Structure 1
Amino acid sequence: MNKKKLKKSITILLPAGLLPAELLTVVHDLAERYNLGIYLSTAQNIRLLDVKDENEEVIKKELLDAGAELKGPGKFPLPRICVGSQYCQLGMVNTQAFSNRILERFKNRSNVKPKFKIAVSACPASCSNPLTTDIGIRTLRNGFEVYAGGKGGPKPKVGRRIAAGVDEEQVLEIIEALVDFHACKTGKKQRLVKLIDDPEFPFAAV
């Protein structure tokens, strides 16, 4: 089957889903000037739509000059988070701070292989869908649960719980082990669910 030709877009990465006011102004200006659509993605990023070939590099340069980080191959995935304890009565952890801590830990990772994703929820309600994400972190009163191998799509799957009652530092160590394992076992790209039953998978169900 022939692949259809897709329109071009540019994705702006937003750690913790936060869009600084200064960058918002730049995005609005670019959208007005180049007649772009603005799409708020399910990954909590911004995607500029209908980018014409002749304008692509100019738009990217203006975004980079404004301090934006653009989506590209090999980058560590930004965690998808809920609003957290600072904005929700049910929340038990500051998800923005935790997301930033994860990104700080792995900021120097290069050539990260797709397609795994990370999600963090501040309570069992799981508004950021950690149970159906490759690496899902869910907050309980006695610490964090970590799930591996969840996925969405046409055949969604709840991940395997591989840790319970752990603290933030332990969560970071688990993420590191999973990312290392994924890198070792993956050629170009792969969802973590494909590796969950590998005999060398580093964690058992708990």
Structure 2
Amino acid sequence: MFDVTIAYRLGPFGFLHLSHLPDGKDYPDAQNLGLLDQLMALKWVHENIGSFGGDPRNVTIFGESAGAGSCTMLPLLRMSENQTLAGGKSYTYYFTPESSLPIVKSGHSIELASVFNHPEMTADTGRTLDQTFAKTMRKMWVQFAKTGNPSLSADLSPDGRAKVWPLYDLKQKQVMVFDENNIHPEREASRKIVDWDRTYFLTKYYVF
């Protein structure tokens, strides 16, 4: 298995909509340049990964934060038939363990120390998360990278219990909830999600 990371244009250089300008028609792709960069990177992987020992017919894309958003948007662009053979599957999760540090709570990205097996990195978490929970997260991430499906059978799950991660779709909107004591699927609507980008300054929570 090989891991390839890419760079792409950010902010206004990659996502600035110009259609409202008098000559906006001359820049039809301006708002999608960052995603088109990613498509070119995937094309490079398809054409060159074999030279590194990889399989160009078995490429899984994944991301966290903006990377996850990119994975959701890429199937909407002009992808070739080979690039869409996987069917555009999408898996979504909510991470609920809270940091022991004041006001951080379940801040953005604090799960990464667990996913990448660096429990000593507690600058954001303030504490070491439950090890079985952390190991289960890593197993699911690896399973997704290997198979395109993060679900775990009982024999693969660190706690011996199967974890079935539902596909996310616009009708059911099911997500996997990463509760430190109970990893389980749930309807998104039952989570009562708050739009932190618009409200964190009212709550004194720091989300990053």
TM-score category (smaller protein): 0.3 to 0.5
TM-score between both structures, scaled by the size of structure 1: 0.32
Bigger strand share: 1
Bigger helix share: 2
TM-score between both structures, scaled by the size of structure 2: 0.32
Which has the higher Rg, Structure 1 or Structure 2?
A: 2
